[in-house]
A and B are shown apart, each in its own frame.
Chain A
Amino acid sequence: MTTNVQAPTKLFYEDVQVGDSIPKLVKPSLSHIQLVRYAGASGDFNPLHTDPKFGEMIPGVGGIISHGMLIMGFVGQMLSDYVGPLALRKFGVRFKGMTRLDDVITCTGTITEKYEVGGEGRIAGKVQAADQNGDVKVSGTFVAALPRRTEGDNSHGYA
């Protein structure tokens, strides 16, 4: 069994400042095919996300809506691009609105804190995903552990 190690990262603890923006991620407009594909990958086959007739019957839904977890996945993609997947220590979101077909989701984020835990450099931030009208679908927070410039590239940094 190999142990996965943190890949050489371009982002170091020293490089991040409170108030920095995370490079935003704009996703292609949401398609029915993507929901079907995401259902298969995730294992969440709730008909609310795959069968338009089912959504019509639910008051307040009226048609097909995205899995909230797909939108969290979009935010996860932004964080993966920013810090790398193995740097994440915590990632949580609140689902605030329904995402519908053809919505264009943009993920954004800001660094809110820098601190140390047992000598490990950590950053915390807030993130969100909103549609083309600025309606927020998902908002949340994350914590990531970042290597320092003085450390070797292979530190995976789990405290």
Chain B
Amino acid sequence: MFDKSKIGQSFPPFTIEVERGKIRELALAIGDDNPIYQSREAAQAAGYSDVPLFPTAPTMFTFWGNTKMVAQLVSLGINLMGVLHGEEEYEYLAPINPGDTLTGVMTLVDGKTRQGQGGTSMDILTVEIRYTNQRGQPVLNAREMIIAR
């Protein structure tokens, strides 16, 4: 059962550089072979100034950027064994380009514990990660809801 007093707590910031090759790798892993994600040249041929961000690329910022994420979630008091992903939402505030360095701050914005049958319980947590770029401009908000049993 998670520690309710942690609601509102933010964790230390992490940074991640936006890499063209990682956008390409993610698009290809998803099976999207749109040339705009493959190279700057192909993106420019399609009218973009550089490789654009794939819509779900922010998931890489979290997993590759915040290397302490697992320890941070454990510190909230949840059981990570069998944790399920309930919801994910992105708010795209400004363009994010290859070469940008993003800083993310994760905050536990909401949480509740639901009692189930036979003394079982599950924790439902919502975390938000706010990203700014190297100029301090807010560029992306990511919200995710996770269910820990």
Check if A and B associate.
Answer: yes
Q: Min CB distance, A88 to chain B, in Å?
A: 5
Given contacts A69-B59, A72-B56, A80-B34, contact A5 B48 (CB under 8 A): yes
The reply to whether B30 and A85 contact each other, CB–CB distance below 8 Å, is: no
The reply to whether A4 and B95 contact each other, CB–CB distance below 8 Å, is: yes
| Residue A73 lies at the interface, judged by CB distance under 8 Å to chain B | yes
Residues of A within 8 A of B143 (CB): 92
Measured CB to CB, the nearest residue on chain A to B26 is: A41
The reply to whether B30 and A70 contact each other, CB–CB distance below 8 Å, is: yes
Residues of B within 8 A of A8 (CB): 47
| Residue A37 lies at the interface, judged by CB distance under 8 Å to chain B | yes
The reply to whether A77 and B49 contact each other, CB–CB distance below 8 Å, is: no
Once bound together, how far apart are the Cα atoms of A8 and B86, in whole Å? 35
| Residue B11 lies at the interface, judged by CB distance under 8 Å to chain A | no
The interface size bin for chain A is 35 or more
Given contacts A4-B49, A7-B48, A41-B22, contact A93 B89 (CB under 8 A): yes
Q: Min CB distance, A33 to chain B, in Å?
A: 10
The reply to whether B31 and A28 contact each other, CB–CB distance below 8 Å, is: yes
Given contacts A3-B49, A4-B50, A80-B54, contact A72 B31 (CB under 8 A): no
Once bound together, how far apart are the Cα atoms of A4 and B91, in whole Å? 17
List A17-48 residues whose CB lies under 8 Å from chain B.
Answer: 27-28, 34, 37-38, 40-44
The reply to whether A92 and B87 contact each other, CB–CB distance below 8 Å, is: yes
Measured CB to CB, the nearest residue on chain A to B27 is: A77
Residues of A within 8 A of B88 (CB): 68-69, 72, 92-93, 95
Given contacts A4-B49, A92-B88, A153-B47, contact A77 B31 (CB under 8 A): yes
Q: Min CB distance, A115 to chain B, in Å?
A: 17
Q: Min CB distance, A139 to chain B, in Å?
A: 10
The reply to whether A2 and B97 contact each other, CB–CB distance below 8 Å, is: yes
* Chain B residues close to A by CB (< 8 Å): 22, 25-32, 34, 36, 43, 46-50, 52-56, 59-60, 62-64, 81-82, 84-97, 99-100, 143
- Taking A58-B82, A90-B91 as known contacts, 19 extra A-B pairs with beta carbons closer than 8 A to each other, sorted by chain A number, are A3-B95, A4-B97, A8-B47, A34-B31, A43-B62, A58-B81, A72-B88, A74-B31, A76-B56, A77-B30, A77-B32, A85-B53, A86-B52, A86-B53, A88-B92, A90-B90, A92-B143, A95-B84, A95-B88
